Chains A and B, each alone.
Chain A
Amino acid sequence: MRLTPISTAATPETQRDALAAPVHDPLWLLARQWQTRGFLADDAGSPVRVQLSSVTAPLRAGGPAGEPMAAVEPWVEAEPRPQIDDLDHRALVALASELCRRLRDAAAPVRAAWTAAFPFTPSAPAPTIVPFVGRIPDPRPLYHLLAPALGSDGQGGSMPALPGVDPAHAAGVERACRGWIAWLADRLAPAGQDAGNAPGAWDPQRLEYRFRLGAVLPDAAVALPADEYDGSGVEWYTFDRSALVPGAGSGEHPQSLEVRPAPVTYPGMPRPRFWELEDGDVNLDALAATDPAHAVLTSFAHLYANDWFLVPLSVAPGVSTITSLDVTDTFGSTTAVLAVAAVDGGKGPWRLWELTSADPDPAPGAGMRLLVPPTPRPLAGEVLEDVLVVRDELANLAWMVERLTRDASGEPVDRIQRHLQLRPPGDPAFDPGDRPEERQQYRLGTTVPDNWYPLLSSADAGGRPLLTLAALPPGAVGVSDDGVQGTLVPHLPGTSIADEEVPREGAHITRQDRLLPGGDGVVVWRSRTKSPGLGEASSGLRFDVLE
């Protein structure tokens, strides 16, 4: 509480005296405390002991029946491991180099023979790949030979016959090959399991992830659906909670804790004692002068600051609920403090940090919190693909604009620069001012860059509006996009995006590699992120033009 006397002082000197808090004799000190209601008796005691019970259930992948998980992001975001035949040249070079190094470690000089027998000769290699052409063995035929013979983990079967293997080096070659196949097991999909490149949780129509986790509480199981995860890091607000399934609980007892509460403190908090000096770094009153919201905030901070207490609690990641909190005061009486959610049965307005219930009756499990595993922000690599989905109100279309994609060698391709370099010289967009006026000509439509793909308004069987990837008529694109097409939005007939996912500001989807500690060292995965776009855009597409 803060004393704000209304001063009747007239002169600066008396004003200063009125604002001062001088210290005189003991009676003076007592008098000031009496004036500031420091001796006013309340019918209550100070809290001295808190008994707290809480339950925490680890998160489980896929639902309550799933396995407990350590980190959510790699599980959700990771694209499936690729087939070796789908790898770009750069990745193939890395695999072949590692095989050569393992052969070198094993002192097995077969690189030259294998390079001659399985030469690496990709079509149209990038300049960075050219030095490897014909100088390293192609890992694809070797993998197709070795993996079936040695098993997917490299530990079974026997070595197939390979050229150039001297009997003196056969053991070293076998050791190197088995190690290489085992190493590849974590990086490649097993043969015959082509899951495409989209993560299992990826919703191609919404361009975001949709998945669910679960948890098993002592008395019930709960599913935690996440319908709109954009790939920017899992948080508690990523999830809702579905109806609890009673009877499917683990039966564990809540964790109990008995501690002394400590008053909540924060910078700028008014001190309860009259002569106690306050921190001058944060002046809450400076905020109160401007508008009602600031004033309300400041009043709250001044009036109720010393009625809040804090109890430390160490919680394992997962779904957490405080089952009881009993406060014992100095007079020995015990008061149960209920969570607001327990009082209103979860039917009140939305509250921070509480999971929203999809159950019509939110009372069971009200007040449930979710503490995500404390995985740090992952290391992120360069952007591999960059796609904008934009509205074009002038052309009455939406466009998917591939700004950055990868070619067959895995090298980045700036698509607009490529278009500018490759567009035909007859493109009227080159020098519109240089065209002679008497040579005006009628054109059915103007051309658009090859990295702009039209999305036409359509609807699914249920009438839900969609934007469907369409093809431009022949001649409308002067540059071919063969070999550099992106993969974030597949270039397949019927590919569509939900209309509401392309708002006025558009959507921006990127793809990049991420790395976190985990497993036997690190976990690397290829993820996708959706963020707001850059606003509307115009392709310049016009029909029936005379130019």
Chain B
Amino acid sequence: MRRQIIFAAFASSLLAAGACAPQDEAATDSSGGDGGGSCSPADLQTLEADTLTIATDEPAYAPWMVDDDPTSGEGFESAVAYAVAEQLGYSQDQVTWTRVPFNVAIQPGDKPFDFDINQFSISEERQQAVDFSSPYYTVAQALVAIEGNPAADAGSLADLQDLRLGAQVATTSLQILTDVIAPTTEPSVFNSNDDAKLALQNGQIDGLVVDLPTAYFISNVELDGGVLVGQLPGGEGGDEFGLLLAKDSPLTDCVSQAVDALREDGTLDELEQEWLSDVIDAPVLE
């Protein structure tokens, strides 16, 4: 009798495990009709009613966010986030910010935000796990080095091949580093750009690959004797940043429409000029 009970318990726990159906099978039905619906705050299924919850990483750096304060509206991404919110019909007061690490945001699953703005490059692989809006910025990758290091004087990709280079894990920077520069010594891979900057400053690596605006900020503001060596030719037609949303989020269409509208009326170009104009004239390494 006792054995049967245990067996039954096993069997029922297995059935319970089997009942864990994928989340979105039920969710897509309810969100299916929203594509053609209105994009006003009253109709948007946000995390909290009448509030737009936007996420970014902590700390957030210039020129994306000024002084690690996303609520200021200063810095390119902060400005874009508020512009998108305004386009959707949310006032400044209706926007709340939350902090989500980069690597956590791109994993599949539920999200504690309506959208995340954190220099996410749009890629097909990532789109299997999350949604992206239309791109709000197209960016190149660039190499940063310290004055006096051979990497700082590199004039071509070939000059870089024999150096010790690094990048942050799971980024387009790392992909471009391995594919485009193809260094002969295995690249160093760090958990975050902050660790990578330490290693660069310490001379543990000769050069660091990051996206161009970040490279500009790192080399001019953060590092002593930092040099922006140059842009790297993009792998496949440049890297586009998109707002990140949960997979099959009911908001994706509306957010994309808002970004498209901002691009068409020239707002994105204006913001780019305002916050990113300094970085556009870095030389391209071939």
- Do A and B truly interact? no
Q: A residues bordering B, Cβ < 8 Å?
A: none
